[in-house]
Amino acid sequence: MNGKMYGLMLQSHALVTLDFVGPTVLLRHIIKDGSPFQLPCPLPLENSFYDKYLIKSSGELLFVFKIYSAPGNYTVAYFKVFRVNTSEIVCEEVKNLGDQLVFLNHHYGMTCSIQEPGIRRNSIYFAELFDRNLYVYNMENRSQSVKLPCPIAKRKARLSWVMPLLPSSI
């Protein structure tokens, strides 16, 4: 098996690649100006309570922060999204996702492009651990709405996304 995958070092936010060469996996830091390239953090690390996701989106990498209102309070205050340019080794904040949607659960995320009516473009759909609701964050006006996708689900249900196997990835 040969290929490359991007990863994120949890504490330092250093961007790395995992290169798969036959049975060997090589971990390499992406270097910029002689040092490991660190992805931005929108808040001081010591004062923040957030989850972070590194997601492939239309051939690009997105670095998404789900920022909570306070430590111990799992109410989402807002999101910050950065586009990672791995060729030029730079990040830029994303204010508008266009027709892209981001889907997040407690452990991972994915994106898709949408043209269907009734689906909110420029939005982040997310689920919380042990919560049966589906939340929608509008990137344009930073508002949130709540959906109950399955009213008969148990109160402590885990909501997860099904990851499709697309023909281009077979």
Domain edges within the chain: 1-38, 39-161
* Residues counted in the chain: 170
Distances in Å between the alpha carbon of 35 and those of 18, 38, 88, 170? 18, 9, 15, 36
- Per-residue pLDDT at 165 exceeds 50: no
- Give 167's pLDDT tier (boundaries 50, 70, 90): very low
- Per-residue pLDDT at 139 exceeds 90: yes
Q: What percent of the chain has pLDDT over 70?
A: 79
Residue 2 tokens, joined = 């040969």
pLDDT at 82: 92
**Phi/psi of residue 158, nearest 5 degrees:** -100, 125
pLDDT at 156: 57
pLDDT at 79: 93
Render pLDDT for 81-131 as a digit per residue (tens, 0 to 9): 999 888 888 889 999 998 888 989 877 888 888 777 777 788 999 887 767
Mean pLDDT of 143-153: 74
Distance of CA 85 to the CA centre of its chain: 15
pLDDT at 74: 76
Mean pLDDT of 49-60: 85
